Chains A and B, each alone.
Chain A
Amino acid sequence: MENRGITFGYGFLSQESSFDVQFSLIEYDGSHSYFRAYLVGLLNTILVSVIGIIFATIIGVVVGIARLSNNYLIERSAAVYVEFFRNIPLLLQIFFWYFAALRALPLPQDTEPMFGVFFLTIKGFFVPAFVWNNLDIFVYSIIAAIISIFFIRIYAKKKQENEGIQTPVLSISIGLLIILPLLSFLFGGVDAKVEVPVIKQLSQSGFTYEGGIKLPPELISLALALSLYTATFIAECVRAGVQGVSKGQKEAAASIGLTPNQVLKLVVMPQALRIIIPPTTNQYLNLTKNSSLAAAIAYPDLVLVFAGTALMQTGRAIEIVSITMLTYLSLSISISIFMNWYNKKIAIKEK
């Protein structure tokens, strides 16, 4: 290394980065430091991972349950979906959505609004944004609701253990979650205005939307591909989990007089979740790691911003690649430590 005239050090992180990133969650431009660029990339990675995880879970659970359906058509369609999407490389799917499918969308000036406020264009998805007054009070009201739900659950459990009376926790919780924020609107001075995107002419033929939130097509295609791909694996986890609960458990639960809902909630789901959660977390981890494919379609994630642009500018390959790898490594190791702890906690205790 010395022969090649390469110095080693992390001092460059505080230097001015002088490159721009087209999509960032925090304020950023060329005058900020490389460390700030790293944060921008990290936040973008986390953003797309969280979106992907949410949608992958929803699709995965629905498809996994559909694969267990006794309806032949539903079971088959779910199976076709799973076989199809998991046998095609993720990179190819990302390219497909980005270069083929989303390029077929209309230009901003030709877009028909969905429900009057959403605009799906070739330049991205424009959605209305909320403009808040006293947002903090609103957030506090939600936190207060969650804390009180927590205490109500403890109280309800105690009451059931002592007196055998069940409290309708679910309906009380939902009620609290609605009523407290509503009160904050009525008395707390919280106010939200909806800001609908409005079309604006940039040049002779260039149009764009202003106001609201813009989701760039890179983000959409990446999140779409990640969630559709990972959902197939989650679906298989869900199916394996529900099938892993033996039939005798359900019959035993039914025979001691539990209602079908109670059987599902108290007997089947706890056992199924024990099988489902570890591999599903693994899939979440895979999704987060796979989100690094963003570099292929220029979504400014950690790999593109930091291991791409910043590396090209500074030439500090060892430092930057090691930081990038360490970031992912610490992310996955912390999740796997948490998973091991959780696994131990929920494992069947037997002598």
Chain B
Amino acid sequence: MNKLNFLQPDKNNLSTYLYTGVFLVALSIFIVFLNSFFNKDLISFLPGTISFFLPLILGFTGLHLIRIDYSGMKFLDKVNKNINTNNFNAFLSLLIVFVIIKSLPPLLSWFILDANIAGDTKDVCTGSGACWTYIKIWFNRFMYGMYPNAEQWRINLSFIALAFLGTIGFFATEKFKKYLTLYYVVVYPVIAFFFIFFFISGGPIFFDFSYGIIAAVISVIIGFFIPSKFKMYYFITVPITLYILLKYVFFYEELIELGKLEALEWVETGAWGGLSLTFIVSFFCLIFCFPIGLFLSLGRRSDFPIIKYFSIGMIEFWRGVPLITVLFMSSVMFPMFLPEDMFIDKLVRVIIAISLFEAAYVAEVIRGGLQALPRGQYDAAKSLGMGYWKMHILVILPQALKLVIPGIANTFLALVKDTPLIFVVGLLEIVGMLNLAKTNPEWLGFAMEGYVFASVLFFIICYAMSKYSYNLEQKYKTER
């Protein structure tokens, strides 16, 4: 195709070729545009097959004519360089443009023009487009599952608080920067756990939580006036003492009274669901799978045969089986090994299962980073007299983890995308809720809208995550 040299312009007739070519391309696009947007066929007088291919032929000829090397016109050079380098490319470009023009009107009409969003019954959806009313009515359920409507502020509040506490690290001053790792690895997960457990789950235990908060706030305020020499001892002892005092001495009588009256209503985990459950499960699995994976990857390179083969066995086992069978195991097989009177919540079992599963993948990713470090780093650290842990924490892991940011981000993305699988144990996060809503007799036939809605949500979440990981990777990139 590259050998097609006839009909190429030379110096004398440059503008003739240019104008003819541009006209032909514009004409072909115009024909397709009219056909697709206004349903008018300019070339209907021609026989079927020819009228189908005519725009393609016209545009192709036009693009061939305007393929002028170094024409001097910036725009034309750009077009030629990017979409019109040879005949094959020109053909593909035209095809893509036509497909886009052709597919825009039906998409537009389905998504916006013929779609319905007003009203709150199925009857308003008369158009041929999407029925967004369905999403509007079910929105609450898609977000919160079967969580009672009156209590949903608790989920919102917890998420807002956790988001706030999570982003606080970005505003930390230089002085506090060195504590950030400790904060994110230890303090933050604990706070998050308490929030989810006491706030979202509710129940009388909520009061323990409120005492804890009061104790923490009071001790932090007083802590500002304590000389830094004693700060450590202060923060280890005082909050706990305060908590115990609050709980058992000052408010003991009141607790019993209040616990009956005003405690947050207990919502069992079976009622949690929707997008918030997706977040909760992914959040906890993210937190748990990273340290487990880290230890597994270190274990795999350990010198002790027991630790080494245990880690290899764990990693290869979890990587070798599909997640769905792991969840099956956690729901039907695992309870059989427990003592008869012991019961572990379904959600907890699922979180443990997914965490172990993803930890194996994280371990392999981190192992890649560990292997990529030159031996010299280990030797240098050892020659400075560092022990195993000091060497890994100060020298090896910071470098290795930096190398594997993309891999870890991919694993985390896979984790978020795997959460819908918890439907096999009967927990309904957003995809499960969609399937439930789809079978509701009053709202039959709107599967498409639901899946499109969830796809858009997941796309936004995952795309944002991948972009963020890319930024992180660029930020920590060092020349090696």
Contacts and interface: CB of A to CB of B under 8 A. Distances in A.
Nearest to B463: A87
Contacts of B317: 329
Interface in B275-290: none
Q: Say what secondary structure dominates the interface of chain A.
A: helix
Contact of A92 (B332, B340, B458): B458
B391 interface: no
Contact of A90 (B97, B329, B417, B448): B417
B325 A324 contact: yes
A204 interface: no
A292 B451 contact: no
Nearest to B84: A71
B438 interface: yes
B466 interface: yes
A131 interface: no
B316 interface: yes
A71 B92 CA distance: 9
B308 interface: no
B459 interface: yes
Interface in A238-258: none
A289 B340 contact: no
A295 B455 contact: no
Nearest to A295: B324
A179 interface: no
B333 interface: yes
B447 A99 contact: yes
A95 B435 contact: yes
Contacts of A155: none
B455 A88 contact: yes
B319 A332 contact: yes
Contacts of B97: 73
A69 B416 CA distance: 32
A296 B423 contact: yes
A129 interface: no
Interface string A84-100: 10011111110110011
Nearest to A290: B322
Given A3-B340, A77-B96, A333-B316, A311 B332 contact: yes
A88 B421 contact: no
B451 A333 contact: no
Interface string A24-64: 00000000000000000000000000000000000000000
B135 interface: no
A325 interface: yes
Contact of B325 (A84, A90, A325): A325
B337 A1 contact: yes
Nearest to B319: A332
Given A88-B455, A333-B320, A73 B337 contact: no
A71 B316 CA distance: 42
A103 B458 CA distance: 23
Interface string A300-315: 0001000100010000
A205 interface: no
A113 to B, nearest CB: 19
Q: Say what secondary structure dominates the interface of chain B.
A: helix
A321 B332 contact: yes
A92 B451 contact: yes
Interface in B49-104: 82-83, 85, 89, 92-93, 96-97
Contact of A325 (B96, B329, B419, B454): B329
B328 interface: yes
B418 interface: yes
A191 interface: no
A29 to B, nearest CB: 26
A4 interface: yes
A342 interface: no
Contacts of B85: 70-71
Contacts of A95: 431, 434-435, 447, 451
Contacts of B458: 87-89, 92
B249 interface: no
Contacts of B459: 84, 87-88
Interface in B317-365: 317, 319-326, 328-329, 332-333, 336-337, 340
B340 A4 contact: yes
B337 to A, nearest CB: 7
B141 to A, nearest CB: 17
Interface of A: 1, 3-4, 6, 69-74, 77, 83-84, 87-93, 95-96, 99-101, 103-104, 289-290, 292-293, 295-296, 303, 307, 311, 317-318, 321-322, 324-325, 328-329, 331-333, 336
6 contacts: A88-B455, A91-B431, A96-B451, A99-B435, A289-B321, A333-B316
Given A91-B420, A293-B324, 13 more contacts: A69-B89, A88-B455, A88-B458, A89-B420, A99-B435, A100-B448, A104-B448, A289-B321, A295-B424, A303-B322, A307-B325, A318-B336, A331-B320
